[in-house]
Amino acid sequence: MDRSISIVEYKTQQAAFFLRQLASCGYDMFAAQCYTDAFAASARSVTLALQAVVGRVEGFSQWYSERQDALRQNRLSRFFVKYRNVSSKIGETIVRARKSYRGPDGEQIVLHYFLPITDLPDVPEEDVVTVCRRQMSTLLGLVYNAMSKFRYDLDDRWHFTAENFSKMGKTFRDAVTELGFPPSGPMPAKCLTNLIDGGF
């Protein structure tokens, strides 16, 4: 693969970081607006990174096309595409309302909400953090399923196993060659140990 799956992991962690910051904004409305904008942008980049990294893997295009159709049917995913466009291309924010109350334990709870604007008239009724967490869950499910489905192409720990090379009609020596060692002659002991531990 031209690109490492760690790119997708990084973008996923970035979205999770902005969501954690958003959840701790308290009364700071400006911070809530900034972190929601950042979450929406990074959430979108998760799917873009996934396509960039896994796009050339055999079978991914058809697999992802089906997932894209599902995302287009998902009301929340459609909302976040529109939100990101309004935020990035127009510069508008729809995080404009806040309420606070005391929880059963006396702790102060502060929630932020979306308010509709002309360019985005249909917004979720739930608080911003709840909405973002639901979208994050959708993205994590997508990434998890991709990494499970294409694990032999994305993760060397799965790729360099006897099971995978047997399935590809390849041998132990093919694995050695793929790792950059000559197909014949002595191999470094550490390399041999790693391959044996990995399933050969």
Per-residue pLDDT of 40-84, as tens digits, reads 999 999 999 999 988 888 899 999 999 999 999 999 999 999 999
Half-sphere exposure of 85 (CA within 13 A, CB side): 8
Q: Are strands 108-114 and 95-102 parallel, antiparallel or unpaired?
A: antiparallel
Per-residue pLDDT of 103-134, as tens digits, reads 899 989 999 999 999 999 999 999 999 999 99
* Among 133, 140, 131, residue whose Cα is nearest residue 9: 140
pLDDT category at 148 given cuts 50, 70, 90 is confident
pTM above 0.85, yes or no: no
Percentage of the chain with pLDDT > 90?
66
At position 144, the amino acid (one-letter code) is Y
SS3 content of the chain, % helix, strand, coil (to 5): 65, 10, 30
Half-sphere exposure of 174 (CA within 13 A, CB side): 12
Between 63 and 195, the higher pLDDT residue: 63
DSSP symbols for 41-71: HHHHHHHHHHHHHHTTSTTHHHHHHHHHHHH
Q: Contact, 15 vs 47, CB < 8 A? A: no
**Rounded Cα distance, 35 and 142, in Å:** 22
Q: Contact, 10 vs 143, CB < 8 A? A: no
Between 7 and 196, the higher pLDDT residue: 7
Cβ burial, residue 182 (10 Å; 0-12/13-18/19+): exposed
Q: Which residue reads 């049917």 in tokens?
A: 73
